[in-house]
Amino acid sequence: MQHTQIEKYIANFKAELDDLQNYPYQELVDIIQDVGFSCTCCGKCCTAAFNGHIYLLADDIKHVRNLNLDFLVPAPGFELADREGRMYVSSYAMKMNPAGACPYFLHGRCSDYQNRFSICKIYPYMLHREPDEEGNHIYRQISGLNQHGEYHAEISHKEACEIADMIYSYEQAYLDHMLAFYQFMLTYFTMHNLRYSRQAYDKTMRAFNQGNEIDVCVYELASLFPCRVSLQSYNHHFHP
């Protein structure tokens, strides 16, 4: 019973994977054409103020490691804590610059556009479940609707299908990653006689939000990489 919470997370992500496979493809294509999003290069999506953080998948991390390790920080929203208050997080995120923008965002443009991250390639589209005002889980397909860019541009059926394919691919990769993370953590906690503790999690987050350093283990390539972070590690206001 000590790992019930982690097992619930595993079950939830398995259910989300099943739901993703069953989501009607043509419905997503229709939404893409109906919204008709057109990027105006406003740069809002590259900032922490607008998007919080840029969550990185395995290929994204590999690319950043080849350029500048200092750009990586444990992704905000640490998922787990053990009874000692050690945090565990599923991946890295980009460390925003002091102005609160992605370090690749220079002179109003992405300086590495051809190699932009997985989430950037599909933005503002998405396909994952979020709770509505009544707590029922519904699918959200667009981020920041009417807050940036332009809408009702003409998008051909072929282009809409290409976008839909990228969305499905990203969401599949993200859910696979999260499932692998929780399955790994279940095994890790069992092998090391650790237990998930919400009380320790809340206590550590209070210390973190007060500016103290905390221990965080980052999941990458089926391993955990320990580090110490504080609010200053993120260069901008942190949203747990």
Q: What is the DSSP string of 147-209?
A: TSSB------HHHHHHHHHHHHHHHHHHHHHHHHHHHHHHHHHHHTT--B-HHHHHHHHHHHH
SS3 label, residue 89: strand
pLDDT higher than 70, residue 239:
no
Q: Supply the pLDDT for residue 136.
A: 67
Query: What integer pLDDT is reported at residue 146 of this predicted model?
Result: 83
Higher pLDDT, 213 or 134: 213
10 Å CB burial of residue 178 (0-12, 13-18, 19+) is buried
- Measured in Å, how far apart are the chain's first and last C-alpha atoms? 27
| Alpha carbon distance 2, 185 (integer Å) | 13
Of 25, 46, 162, 50, the closest CA to residue 113 belongs to 46
- Mean pLDDT to the nearest integer, 54-62: 94
Count how many Cα atoms sit within 13 Å of the Cα of residue 90 in the half-sphere of its side chain. Answer: 18
**173-226: pLDDT as tens digits:** 999 999 999 999 999 999 999 999 999 999 999 999 999 999 999 999 999 999
What is the average pLDDT score of the chain? 91
Structure tokens at 40: 């105006």
pLDDT of residue 2: 63
What pLDDT, in 10s, does the model give residues 111-125?
Answer: 999 899 999 999 999
Read off the pLDDT band of 137 (50, 70, 90): low
The pLDDT of residue 75 is: 96
